[in-house]
Amino acid sequence: MRKKIYLIVPLLLLAAFAFYYHGYRKEADEMAKARAIQQAEVAKQEAKEKLEYQAKVAAEAREAAYEKARKAAEKQAQIDAEEKEYDDLNKEQVVVMNARDEAAIKFGDLSTALRDENDLFERAQNRMSILADEKKFLDTYIPLSKANRDRFSKFLTKVEETKKEVEAAAAAAAKKN
């Protein structure tokens, strides 16, 4: 009988250990799966937050670029309006000056007509130099504005590509699990 006890007790202990270990292994597998799912969700949430942040930054950059372009367009429209007003004033001044010249010639006061012409010529030169300075400013500002618009477009394209890559990686991770 004693010889059987040496055989039966270890077998019973082995059976108890196997039963306990089997339950523990199931719990460990379930915990590992739960942890993997949680890590995937955290990674997905982080990617989503990063994408939202990048979209926000891109939207702010796009709004700033649009605002700069709008201001440049307004400035150009104002300059065009001023040039038209200047042309209209020049036409009026030419008509007025022609009438004045005719009167001066009729009355023999050529010195007044010459002084008026010189004054008009000097004002026209001053206005032309102002317009030349504004044109030079616009010639430098508009290419910079276009370059900024192109950089922002490239940045937005990169953000969209990154978004697609993140979504593809998330989809691949979801398929893998």
pLDDT over 80 (residue 82) = yes
Mean pLDDT on 150-175? 91
**Could you tell me the two tokens for 4?**
């059987």
pLDDT over 80 (residue 47) = yes
Domain that holds residue 155: 2-176
Give me the number of domains the chain comprises: 1
- Residue 139: the pLDDT is 87
What does the pLDDT look like over 113-129, one tens digit per residue?
678 889 989 998 998 99
Exposure string (b/e) for 143-175, b if CB count within 10 Å is 16 or more? Answer: eebeeeeeebeebbeebeeebeebeeeeeeeee
What does the pLDDT look like over 135-155, one tens digit per residue?
898 888 888 888 889 999 999
Maximum mean pLDDT: which of 26-35, 45-54, 168-177: 45-54
